[in-house]
Amino acid sequence: MKLNIRKQNNLLLVIIFIYSFVFFSSISSAFEGSFQERNTFEVTTHARLAVEKAWETYHHAALGGTLASPSIQTELEMNLHKTRLLLAEAYNAEERGEEETVDELVTKIFGITEQILIESREPKK
């Protein structure tokens, strides 16, 4: 009789262990997913801040009359609008969970905004 109770207790412990393992591994994968979402969110946030800074720098130069030429002003405006479109695409890719696409778009955004910052600071000729 005592042998059966021990077997039952051992079986119960094994079952508890298996359920615990499954439960905790599912919790761990849930945390990993939220961390990845947060990480992608941070990337698009940095891109948005870069776009805002580019617009601010451009407007400061345009209002101050310090842009190098009217053709550069037109080019900068077109590029600024392009960054907003790329940012919208990055947000959509983020919602779909397409991390590679988000990274590609954000890289393009950073490249364009850096060029805008340089050209907006270039003195008039």
What residues does each domain of the chain span?
Answer: 36-121
Residue 28 confidence (pLDDT):
47
CA distance 50 to 66: 21
Residue 25 confidence (pLDDT):
57
Average pLDDT value for residue range 66-81: 90
pLDDT by residue (tens digit) across 33-47? 544 454 667 899 999
Does the pLDDT at position 115 exceed 50?
yes
Nearest to 119 by CA among 49, 65, 52, 69: 69
CA distance 89 to 101: 9
pLDDT by residue (tens digit) across 74-109? 999 999 999 999 999 999 999 999 999 999 999 999
For tokens 């077997």, the residue is 7
**Structure-block tokens of residue 33:** 């997913």
Does the pLDDT at position 119 exceed 70?
yes
CA distance 113 to 8: 68
pTM greater than 0.85? no
Contacts of 91 (CB under 8 A, 6+ apart): 44
| Predicted confidence band of residue 66 (pLDDT cuts 50, 70, 90) | confident
> Between 19 and 36, whose confidence is greater?
19
